[in-house]
Every structure is written in structure tokens, then in C-alpha cells.
Amino acid sequence: MNLPKHLARVFLSLFQKLHLGEFFRQLEFIGWRSLPTVLFCVSFAAMVTILESAFHMKMLIQNDALVPGFAALLILRELGAVIACLLLASRVGAGYAAEIASMRVTEQLDALKLLGIDRYWYLVAPRTWACALGGALLSVLACLVCLYAAFIISQVQLGQSSASFLAGMHAFVHFQDIFLAAIKGFCFGATIPVIASYYGFFGADGAEGVGQATTKSVVASSVTIIIIDFVLTWIFSHFY
């Protein structure tokens, strides 16, 4: 019952004057502090992707020349943005849900109301804009690091030259793929604080409620990201 009202208030708060101090603080938390974890995880995901692709291509067609192209295509269109934002949902979304739920339990939200401060303007809007922008930037960086990791593993493990990797990648991917990955990251990132704040604001009371809000936020954010990925992939398929 609270969800439509929550979404409406979030939408309206996004177009009010932004709390810049909180926005930049959250952007640093989302972007800079999440960067090592995201890049480390996506690098190994890219290496696994190219090794598995090579194994199955050799098994089916006895040739792995097309591996760089297929791996680059998967990385740019799916792997980079999705994995980066799923990690954000686990790290950032859980933190937001726990923080807001704790503020509700300790009556800090009531204190904001008494001071005449809109909780959506103060807590949700800066986090939503910061997470959307951070998701876009992290998605682009994740894609680039994934491509580099795939480039290295193709040379070390598959014995392919740099020229063959670049030629195979150039045949399958284009600059627009990076741009579309950034759009995906922006949309994925924007959903995380919206969902986290919903469970933080309207969860159960007490310490148990804080834990439930955190768990539900991560699960709901992850499922929502997968659904949005399907929708955006279907839309973007008309532009490839």
C-alpha cells in the first residue's frame, strides 16, 4: 500500500534543489569506495567468460578465433553493467536500508520531521542521483577493465596476438555499446536507493526489522536489476 506513494514522493524529490553536500558524500561512498571491489570481481568474471567461451568453441567448431568478439560483446552488453550494479546492490543497498531502518527505530526520522526537513529530499534524492551516476561510471569502468582482463587472458592462456584480439573485438562491438552500458548502469543504480529507502522507511520495528530491511532490500534490488536488464536489452536490440 505504501509503495505507490513512496515512488511518487521519490520522483518529486528528484526534481527539487539537490542537497549537494550529501550528494558528493554519497558519490564518493558509492563510486570511489566501491571501485576496488567492483573491478576485482568483474576482472575474474571476464577471465572466466573468455576461458569458457574458448573451451566450448574448441569443442564445437575446433576454432577459438571468434572468442574475442563474442567475449567483448557479452562484456559490453551484459557482464560489465550487470555485475557492477549487482555488487552495488549488495554493498550500497544493504547499507542504505540498514541506515534508514536504524534511523526509523531510533526516531531520527521523527526528529527530521520536527525540524521541518523532508526525509525524501534529505535522504533519498541525493542517494538516488549519486547511485545513478555512480552506477553509470562504474559500469563503463567495469566494461573497460573486463576488456583488458579478457585481452590479457587471451594472450596468456589462448595464445592469441593483440592484433587478432582487437580485430575480433572491432568486428563485433561498437562505441554505442559503451554508451548503452552506461545507460544500463544509470538505470540499475537509480533503483537501489529507491528500494533500500522503501524497506528502511516501512519495515518492521526493532533490531529484527533492521535485519529484515537489509535482506529484503538486497533481494528486491537484485531481482529488479535483472528485470530492468531484460527490458533494456530488448529495447536496445532495436538499435544494434
pLDDT band at 125 (very low <50, low <70, confident <90, very high): very high
pLDDT of residue 140: 93
pLDDT band at 65 (very low <50, low <70, confident <90, very high): low
pLDDT of residue 128: 94
What is the tens place of the pLDDT at every residue in 185-238?
999 999 999 999 999 898 777 777 888 889 999 999 999 999 999 999 999 887
The yes-or-no verdict on residue 184 having pLDDT over 70 is: yes
Distances (CA, A) of 33 to 11, 30, 69, 146, 147: 27, 6, 32, 19, 22
pTM over 0.95: no
| Residue 166: partners with Cβ closer than 8 Å, 6 or more residues away | 68
pLDDT of residue 156: 76
The yes-or-no verdict on residue 138 having pLDDT over 70 is: yes
Determine the Cα angle at 125 with ends 94 and 233, to 5°: 70
What is the tens place of the pLDDT at every residue in 111-122?
888 888 889 999
pLDDT of residue 66: 67
pLDDT band at 173 (very low <50, low <70, confident <90, very high): confident
The yes-or-no verdict on residue 46 having pLDDT over 90 is: no
The yes-or-no verdict on residue 165 having pLDDT over 80 is: no
Number of Cα atoms under 13 Å in the Cβ half of residue 4:
1
Which residue did the predictor score with more confidence, 32 or 162? 32
**Percent of the chain surpassing pLDDT 70:** 95
Closest CA to 170 of 151, 152, 157: 151
- Domain map (residue ranges) of the chain: 2-235
Are 212 and 204 spatial neighbours (Cβ–Cβ below 8 Å)?
Answer: yes
Interval 60-74 mean pLDDT? 72
* CB neighbour class for 100 (10 Å; exposed up to 12, middle 13-18, buried from 19): buried
pLDDT band at 1 (very low <50, low <70, confident <90, very high): low
